[in-house]
Structure 1
Amino acid sequence: MSALNTALSVLRCFSDARPELSFADIMAATGMPKSSTSRMLRALREAQLLEQDELTRRYRPGLLTFELGRLYRAHDDLIGRAEEQLKAVCARTGHTGYIAVLDGAEQMILRTVQGSNPLRVVNPAGQRTPAVATSNGRAMLARLSDGEIRKRVPVPFPTLARNAPQSFDELMQRIVEIRNSGRSLSENEAIEGVASQGFALCSSETGEMIGVAVSYSSQGTEAEERARVGEELAQMARTVGAIIGDAVWGKAPAVPS
C-alpha cells in the first residue's frame, strides 16, 4: 500500500458519527500494525491533516482538511450559482451553455446546459479543447497576467482553425480586446459552423475561476439575436459577479434575475 493510500485510509476513518478517534480505533479500523499506524499519524499531524487533543489524546481532522473542504465548498458553490443562472439564460435564448475551467493550456467543460433550439451543438462534460480556440477559454486566459499566459501556451503555437489565433501575438491582441470589453467571441474556431460568446468569473475569496459561454449557429443566428445573447450573458456576469466579489463584474451593480 502506498503512503498516499495509507493516509487516505486513515482519513476515511473519520465521519460525522465519529469525528474523534483514538489510536486504537484507527489501528482497528485500518488493520495496520501499531508501528505503521504510529508513523502515519505522526506524519498526518505534521502535515496539519490531523490534530491530537492534548488531554484525551484522541485524533480529529486538522486545520488543513478544514481549509481544503472550505475551498471545495466555495468552488462548488460558485459553479452551482453560475449553473443556475446559465440555465435561465439558456431557457430564454434556446441556445446551449457551458461552464469550464482552465487546465494548463486547455479548457475542460464541467457543466453543459442544453438549449431548446433544433440547431445546437452539445459538448459533453469532461471534453477538453485548446483554451486559445474557445470564447470562454480566452476569457479565462484574459484574467491571467501576460507572463502566466505565455507559460501556459505551448511552443510552438498550436495549429488551429483559420478563424482562431494563428500566433501568440495574435492571441494577445484578442486578449486585450477581451480585457477591455469583458466579453470573448468565437466564430468557426473549435467547431466549424458554431459561434459563441463567453466571459470569466473569479471568486475574490478563493481565487477560483470559471469560464461561461453560450454557443449558437454561426450562419443561422442574426446580429440582433447575438446582441441579445451578449446582454443575457452580461446580466448573468453582473449578477453572479456581485455575489462572489468578482474584481471585474462585481464592480457593476447586480441585475435582478
Structure 2
Amino acid sequence: MSALNNAIDILRCFSSARPDLSFADVQALTGKPKSSTSRLLRSLRDCGLLEQDRHTRRYRPGLLTFELGRLHRAHDDLIALVERELREVCARTGHTGYIAVLDGYQQVVLRIVPGSNPLRVVNPPGQRTPAIITSNGRAMLARLSDEEVRKRVPVEYPKVPHNSPQNFAELIARLNEIRLTGVSDAADEAIEGVASQGFAVASGETGELVGVAVSYSVHTTEAERAHVRRELAATADKLRRITGDPLAQAADLRTGTAS
C-alpha cells in the first residue's frame, strides 16, 4: 500500500491553484526522495493519470483523471435526479423509498427517502443485501445478460428466504419475467412482513445502473399496490427518457416514436 499511498500524495499536489507542476515542485511538496518521486511520476504518466508537457517537462492531470472525474460527476448527477423523482413518489404514496447499486451479486443502499406512513422500514445507507432477494436488486440484475448474472452469483448458490428464487434456474426465470413485464416485486424476503416494488434505470452516457424501490407492509391492499405500481412505472419511464436509458430508446423503436 505504500506505493499507492505515495502515488496518491503526488496526485493531491495538483489543484486549481497548481494545475501543473515540475519535478522539483512535486518533490518539494511531498518531501519524497528524488529516485522514488521520479519513478512514481513516470508510472503515473505511463498509466494516464498524469501527462507531461514535452517542451516544459511539467506534469498535469491526465485524461484518465478527467474521465474518472466525469464519471464521478455523472454518478452524483444521476443519483440526485433519481432521488428527486423518488421523493415525489414517496410524498404521494406515503411509503419509504430506496436507491441502491449493484456490487457483485449484492446491492448497496445509497439513499433512503422516508415515507409518512407508520411503517417506515429503514435499511441504512451502506447496507448490503443479496440483490436476488429484493425487488430493485432483481430489477437491476434483469438488466444484465444471463451470463453476466451467472458471473456475479456465487457458484454455491446462497441460502435465501423461501419466497426468493431458490437456485440459479429459478432466478433466471424470475429475471425473464421482469424483462417481459417490467414489474419487479418482493414480499417477505429481505425483511419479514415487508413487501416492495422496484425498477432499474441506466445512464445512456455512462451505463451506470441504479435500482429504485418503494417498500410497504405485506398487508397493504391490492388497490394500494396497484397505485404504487403506476407511480413507479411513470417514474421509471420519465427517468429513462431523461437519462437516455437504452430501455426508453428500445420502447420508442417498438412504438415508432423514435426521432
Structure 1, unmatched stretches of 5+, are none
Correspondence for 2:255: none
Secondary structure of 2:99's partner? strand
After superposition, residues 124-203 of structure 1 pair within 5 angstroms as 124-203=124-203
The 8 Å contact of residues 238 and 250 in structure 1, kept in 2 or not, is answered as no
Percent of pairs identical after alignment?
67
| Structure-1 separation of matches of 2:249 and 2:75 | 17
- 1:135-158, CA deviations, whole angstroms, 9 ceiling, x for partnerless residues? 011011101111111121123222
Give 1:87 deviation, angstroms. 0.9
Correspondence for 2:225: 226
Partner amino acid, structure 1, of 2:232: L
Matched, 1:245 2:244: yes
Correspondence for 1:49: 49
| Structure-2 separation of matches of 1:199 and 1:240 | 11
Secondary structure of 1:155's partner? coil
Give 1:55 deviation, angstroms. 2.4
| Structure-1 separation of matches of 2:17 and 2:89 | 41
What root-mean-square deviation, in Å, do the aligned CA atoms of Structure 1 and Structure 2 show? 1.3
Partner amino acid, structure 1, of 2:166: Q
The 8 Å contact of residues 96 and 216 in structure 1, kept in 2 or not, is answered as yes
| Structure-1 separation of matches of 2:184 and 2:248 | 14
- 1:119-140, CA deviations, whole angstroms, 9 ceiling, x for partnerless residues? 1211100111111100011011
- 1:156-180, CA deviations, whole angstroms, 9 ceiling, x for partnerless residues? 2222111111121111111111001
Give 1:252 deviation, angstroms. 5.3
| Structure-1 separation of matches of 2:202 and 2:12 | 31
| Structure-1 separation of matches of 2:90 and 2:250 | 25
Q: Extract structure 1 runs of 4+ deviating beyond 4 A.
A: 250-253
> How does the TM-score come out when normalised to structure 1?
0.95
Correspondence for 1:69: 69
> How does the TM-score come out when normalised to structure 2?
0.94
Give 1:22 deviation, angstroms. 1.4
The 8 Å contact of residues 243 and 250 in structure 1, kept in 2 or not, is answered as no
Secondary structure of 2:185's partner? strand
The 8 Å contact of residues 201 and 249 in structure 1, kept in 2 or not, is answered as no
Secondary structure of 2:79's partner? helix
- 1:46-74, CA deviations, whole angstroms, 9 ceiling, x for partnerless residues? 11111112222211100110011111111
| Structure-2 separation of matches of 1:30 and 1:183 | 54
Secondary structure of 2:246's partner? coil
Correspondence for 1:111: 111
The 8 Å contact of residues 93 and 229 in structure 1, kept in 2 or not, is answered as yes
| Structure-2 separation of matches of 1:157 and 1:37 | 47
Structure 2, unmatched stretches of 5+, are 253-259
- 1:70-126, CA deviations, whole angstroms, 9 ceiling, x for partnerless residues? 111111111111011111111111100001111111111111111111112111001
Partner amino acid, structure 1, of 2:105: A
Partner amino acid, structure 2, of 1:223: E
Give 1:251 deviation, angstroms. 4.9
Correspondence for 1:217: 217
The 8 Å contact of residues 95 and 115 in structure 1, kept in 2 or not, is answered as yes
| Structure-2 separation of matches of 1:157 and 1:42 | 45
Correspondence for 1:235: 234
Equivalences, count: 252
The 8 Å contact of residues 196 and 214 in structure 1, kept in 2 or not, is answered as yes
| Structure-2 separation of matches of 1:251 and 1:87 | 27
Secondary structure of 1:185's partner? strand
